[in-house]
Amino acid sequence: MWRLVYDAPMSDVVSYEVHGRDRKRLAAAMAAPEAQPITVLTSNGVVELPSSASDAVRYLLEELAAGTSVHVVADDAKLTTQQAADLLGISRTYVSRLVDEGKIAAHRVGTHRRLRAADVVAYKALRASRLAAVDDIAGADRVVGVPYR
């Protein structure tokens, strides 16, 4: 079953999930070689997607086939602190602290904070690279026998 959920009427955040038999069919379709272009059937006929759009659609479909819930967010979408927290996998309170410390840009709408999705995604990438660097250091320490405390 295909499901479309709007997280909030004020934003451009949309969630997609695929379940059961549809997921298996999608997985089988995505098992084809990546070199094949993605085509879409529209009311105007069949349209072959450009390579960048084809790559994005292929990635989306592969994630859905794997059972991952996929969120599509426009770069300029305005997110609440809760939506940003959900996207980052951290608490809303911690997002508020990051905003207060200037680590993620935000603006106020009345008493509420709003964050640009592009800024949240950029912070997520920065955070991921820092965590990967810490893992690399820990791995190097293990190799040379430095004990973990």
Q: Determine what percent of the chain is predicted with pLDDT higher than 90.
A: 38
Residue 3 pLDDT grade (very low, low, confident, very high; cuts 50, 70, 90): very low
The secondary structure of 73-118 as a DSSP string is E-TT-EE-HHHHHHHHTS-HHHHHHHHHTTSS--EEETTEEEEEHH
Q: Angle between the 51-65 and 20-30 helix axes, to the nearest 10 degrees?
A: 140
**What is 78-144's CATH number?**
1.10.1660.10
Q: What is the pLDDT of residues 18-38, one digit of tens each?
A: 888 888 888 887 777 666 778
Examine the pLDDT at 39 and tell me if it is beyond 60.
yes
Average pLDDT of the residues of the chain? 84
| Every domain of the chain and the residues it spans | 2-73, 78-144
pLDDT tens-digit readout, 89-118: 999 999 999 999 999 999 999 999 999 999
Q: Look at residue 22 in the predicted model and tell me its pLDDT.
A: 86
